[in-house]
Amino acid sequence: MKLLTGNDLPTGDVVWWTGSGWSRHVADAVDVGTQGEAILQVEEGARRVNVAYVIDATPTPDGPRPAHIKDRIRAVGPTVRFDPASAPDAAVPQVI
Amino acid sequence: MYKYDQYDQRIVDARVDEFRDQVQRRLSGEMTEDQFKPLRLMNGLYLQLHAYMLRVAVPYGTLDSRQMRMLGHIARKYDRGYGHFTTRQNIQYNWIKLEDAPDILAELATVEMHAIQTSGNCIRNISSDQFAGAAADEVADPRVWAELLRQWSTFHPEFTYLPRKFKICVIAADEDRAAMRLHDIGIQLVERDGVLGGRVFVGGGMGRTPMIAPEIRDFVTADDLLSYVEACLRVYNRYGRRDNIYKARIKILLHEIGADEYRRQVEEEFVAVKALGVDPPKAEFDRIAAMFAPPAFDAAASAGVDRSDPDFAVWLDQNVSAHKQPGYAVVTISLKPIGGIPGDASADQIDVMATLAERYSFDELRVTHAQNIVLPHVAQADLYTVWQALTEAGLAEANLDLISDIIACPGLDYCSLANARSIPLAQKIASRFADANRQRDLGELKLKISGCINACGHHHAGHIGVLGVDRKGTENYQLLLGGSGAEDVSLGKITGPGFDEDGVVDAIERVTDRYLAERAEGERFLDTYRRIGMEPFKEAIYG
Amino acid sequence: MADPEQTDPDQANRGGEPRLRFRTDEASDEPAITLDAFLEGQTNATAVRLEAGDDARALLGHLDKVALVEVSFPTFRDGRGYSAARILREGGYTGELRAAGDVLVDQLPLMRRCGFDSFAPEAEIDAAALERALTRYDYRYQKAADAAVPVWKLRHG
């Protein structure tokens, strides 16, 4: 499947095309098929999204899973968390 | 350190106003992203993997407690409570909103700080030696020249749209503590017949094609400095490649036309530029130099430290360096706790460092290109107190220049350019080598990790370097050996086929085991490698 | 060359047109010829167009014959034109120096500092944004091709 993703212009938040708008959760993303470019032209022009692009993903029961590791990290956040108090071996769940 | 006068302050304030205007015109749609991007980059604002990232300038890595506290405040108010100190002595924040950026710059301007030219195809932060003003081996404080260059390069109208970024470094000792030879322009201050001048090296850099800068001029005096550097930049602006971003740095130009031809063109241009009167008078140099005069050291400060606390003694031996002033010392605060994120500090830790600087270091701190913090002027009598405060704040890791003192870029966890993550790898390596005795036995071992070929982690200059690559959609790591960013500058060599994350940690361990087996008396890892070559290590890694 | 003529300094306020010319003489309406054609010599042309990669120094021996040099900015990111402009001004050129092409509001102040005194942007420039940009900075750090006195000179005279 193809997902359309970008950043919210004023905040920089990562956003995903839901079919009718933009969500901050990849689980809400829909398959844009071949329409990605057309949608992003309209949405970027209206400044409802910034620097949007199409990525590959596979559907899963928990929502779309981006194909490339970079896009997965973009979807779930950094795999490391800054916390000076945490123990050295404290692991961040790697949902990538 | 340098303090703004009304002119410096008005210039920064005008920049804040300008950027606020530009952001507003972007948000309203008057500007496209394509038009806005170079403008926001020239104010340090990247669009990264998760959010906008803001890179705040710390000119030649020097700041005071008031400025440090502002950095902590920015982290708390506008970010997620922490900041990341970079390999160019700056700080970056990972979770910034575009709509907040003008306010952030306005707040920074109240303490003489900014994000000017920390990105973009322009002249970037002038970097320098983190021990400037404290090291016995310097001929003069290099930051005076760095400050002259900072002002000259700020909003330089001819060099705002260069083929690519431009990085300048100034040092003042034979020992290179700032990787000077790996900069686009590197300057080493020297004294000849009682006259202070600079040896000028041009065309160094890392990235896709690492190069060591050749010497282009053996001596330039302070009153010719800006004309000469202007000539260097003009030749680059006119003839640097603009057809391919991977071939656009000045090192490529020098490589293609040759150092001799580049030198010739610069000398020709220098004659023309010198006649223009772009060099400030000696009075301006003296004005700036006066601000870098030594602090009011206590001439009667007692030397000698009570070493009875064994943990303190370990830290003392590893992280404290000699100061030219008797009774004083230079403290390096490690931002590389075992298992932590290299170069990151929480807002609380930033405040602790600010207070320690204010009380114990004549209100001055430095950011090092190895992503640590220096308190440059600590009385030996205060070292124990400083160490105790650092310990309480989780800032007392005694690992300066040891294998766990890793330089790592943010990598794929944060950076949209990256191919692989670097932070988890750094954490694994540090944990594998966590044993303090083992680390000290290994000795000086500079390990540097870059998450992609852009080499922000300086992997080419690592005694052991790691480069993250994309291998058919999965993260893979190449291992390099034998690089150095010091005065014995050299570029690391790839060992062979790459590894996955666990594989490269094992490979590094096999390399260090081989070093221990082969080393001669007094040899660092780098020395043994240079003596016995790549083959024994290759054999240890791959069998 | 045409005699200098007074033009209306309130140009910017007339119909919201941005001020794109900073000279008091009459604008040349001659078409600019290429540098190569100019140097070939068989021409009465007084207007020359420099592409981004052309060597501005090639004109330095001919400045008395030139009333207008137009420097091309194919993309606003190509900064070669800034050096071309300064080289011409440093070489004594006092004629019209025009930046043409992908010229945007935010680059105009820098271009003025390099000696450009007229502009032919491809895209419309907002007059109000331009006035703000041109009047925003009252101090400059470095000496360039404009009349601005660098800060170090204000400090020490």
Q: What is the pLDDT of residues C25-64, one digit of tens each?
A: 998 888 899 999 999 987 889 999 999 999 999 999 999 9
Summarize pLDDT for C4-36 with one digit per residue, the tens.
333 444 544 445 789 999 999 998 888 899 999
Run of H or E including B377:
strand B373-379
Give the DSSP per-residue string, A25-36: -GGG----TT-H
Q: Which of B486, B480, B401 is nearest to B445 (CA)?
A: B401
In this structure, the answer to whether residues B445 and B363 fall within a common structural domain is no
**Which of C51, C54, C60, C83 is the best mutation test for B, with the most CBs of B within 10 A?**
C83
Alpha-carbon gap: B387 to the closest alpha carbon of chain A (Å)? 17
In this prediction, residue A57 carries a pLDDT of: 97
Burial class (CB in 10 A: 0-12, 13-18, 19+), B304: exposed
Q: What is the CATH number of the domain that holds C34?
A: 3.40.50
Instruction: Check if C89 contacts B (Cβ < 8 Å).
Output: no
- Domain of residue B83, residue span: 6-109
CB B413 within 8 A of CB B427: no
CB-nearest to A73 from B27, B98, B412 is B412
Instruction: Check if B213 contacts A (Cβ < 8 Å).
Output: no
Check A14 against B50: CB less than 8 A apart: yes
In this structure, the answer to whether residues B342 and B198 fall within a common structural domain is no
Instruction: Check if C74 contacts B (Cβ < 8 Å).
Output: no
Check B431 against A68: CB less than 8 A apart: no
Q: Per the structure block, which two tokens stand in for B242?
A: 């603009």
In this prediction, residue C157 carries a pLDDT of: 82
Torsion angle of C-alpha atoms C132, C137, C138, C143, degrees rounded to 10: -130
Give every CB contact of residue B206 below 8 A, 6+ residues apart in sequence.
B182, B455, B458, B459, B460, B461
Q: How far is CA C80 from CA B197, B536, C51, C53, C133, in A?
A: 30, 50, 9, 7, 22
Check A78 against B50: CB less than 8 A apart: yes
Residue B294 belongs to a domain? no
Cα distance between residue B171 and residue B200, in whole Å: 11
CB B528 within 8 A of CB B489: no
Residue B429 has pLDDT above 80, yes or no: yes
In this prediction, residue C2 carries a pLDDT of: 36
Q: Per the structure block, which two tokens stand in for B542?
A: 């791959």
At least 3 CB pairs under 8 A between chains A and B: yes
Cα distance between residue A70 and residue A83, in whole Å: 23
How does the average pLDDT of chain B come out, rounded? 97
Question: How many C-alpha atoms does B62 have within 13 Å on its Cβ side?
Answer: 28
B 78-107 residues with CB < 8 A to A? 80-82, 96-99
If pLDDT is split at 50, 70 and 90, which confidence band does B139 have? very high
Instruction: Check if B30 contacts C (Cβ < 8 Å).
Output: yes
Summarize pLDDT for B287-313 with one digit per residue, the tens.
999 999 999 999 999 999 999 999 999
Summarize pLDDT for C72-117 with one digit per residue, the tens.
999 999 999 999 999 999 999 999 999 999 999 999 999 999 999 9
Q: Which of B211, B224, B140 is nearest to B179 (CA)?
A: B211
Alpha-carbon gap: C93 to the closest alpha carbon of chain B (Å)? 14
Check B97 against A10: CB less than 8 A apart: yes
Q: Per the structure block, which two tokens stand in for B333?
A: 């605060």
Q: Per the structure block, which two tokens stand in for C141?
A: 């750090």
Q: How many CB atoms lie within 10 A of CB C157?
A: 6
Chains that touch C (3 or more CB pairs under 8 A): B
Summarize pLDDT for A10-26 with one digit per residue, the tens.
999 999 999 999 999 99
Nearest CA in chain A to B421: A79
Classify residue B166 by its DSSP letter.
B
CB B155 within 8 A of CB C141: yes
Averaged pLDDT, B184-209:
96
Q: How far is CA C24 from CA C100, C109, C114, in A?
A: 19, 19, 19
In this structure, the answer to whether residues B147 and B285 fall within a common structural domain is yes
In this prediction, residue C4 carries a pLDDT of: 36
At least 3 CB pairs under 8 A between chains B and C: yes
Alpha-carbon gap: C106 to the closest alpha carbon of chain B (Å)? 8
Give the DSSP per-residue string, B491-515: --EE-SS-B-HHHHHHHHHHHHHHH
In this structure, the answer to whether residues B64 and B171 fall within a common structural domain is no
Summarize pLDDT for B364-413 with one digit per residue, the tens.
999 999 999 999 999 999 999 999 999 999 999 999 999 999 999 999 99
The number of folded domains in chain B is 4
Classify residue B295 by its DSSP letter.
P
Summarize pLDDT for A64-78 with one digit per residue, the tens.
999 999 999 999 999
pTM of the model: 0.96
Check A84 against B97: CB less than 8 A apart: no
β-bridge partners, B188 = B171, B199
Instruction: Check if B436 contacts A (Cβ < 8 Å).
Output: no
In this structure, the answer to whether residues B503 and B528 fall within a common structural domain is yes
Q: What is the CATH number of the domain that holds B17?
A: 3.90.480.20
* ipTM value greater than 0.90: yes
Q: What is the CATH number of the domain that holds B176?
A: 3.30.413.10
Averaged pLDDT, B443-463:
97
Cα distance between residue B236 and residue B258, in whole Å: 13
At least 3 CB pairs under 8 A between chains A and C: no
Summarize pLDDT for B170-188 with one digit per residue, the tens.
999 999 999 999 999 999 9
Give the DSSP per-residue string, B79-135: SSSEEEE-TTS-EEEEEE-GGGHHHHHHHHHTTT---TTSSSSSB-PPEE-TTTTT-
Chains that touch B (3 or more CB pairs under 8 A): A, C
Name chain C contacts of B157, Cβ cutoff 8 Å: 82, 109-111, 113-114, 142, 144
Q: Which of B307, B301, B323 is nearest to B384 (CA)?
A: B307
CB-nearest to C143 from B160, B237, B277 is B277
In this structure, the answer to whether residues B362 and B416 fall within a common structural domain is no
Name chain B contacts of C113, Cβ cutoff 8 Å: 157
DSSP-based three-state secondary structure for A53: strand
Run of H or E including B63:
strand B62-63
Torsion angle of C-alpha atoms B20, B23, B28, B32, degrees rounded to 10: 150
Instruction: Check if B370 contacts A (Cβ < 8 Å).
Output: no
Torsion angle of C-alpha atoms A19, A21, A24, A30, degrees rounded to 10: 0
β-bridge partners, B202 = B185
Alpha-carbon gap: B238 to the closest alpha carbon of chain C (Å)? 5
Check A69 against B474: CB less than 8 A apart: yes
Burial class (CB in 10 A: 0-12, 13-18, 19+), B44: buried
Alpha-carbon gap: A30 to the closest alpha carbon of chain B (Å)? 20
CB-nearest to B97 from A12, A85, A88 is A12
Q: Which of B487, B426, B466 is nearest to B178 (CA)?
A: B487
Domain definitions of chain A by residue range: 2-76
The number of folded domains in chain C is 1
Residue B483 belongs to a domain? yes
Q: Crossing angle, helix B142-153 and helix B282-291, to 10 degrees?
A: 120
Q: Which of B199, B230, B229, B203 is nearest to B217 (CA)?
A: B199
Chains that touch A (3 or more CB pairs under 8 A): B
Cα distance between residue B481 and residue A58, in whole Å: 39
- Domain of residue C48, residue span: 4-156
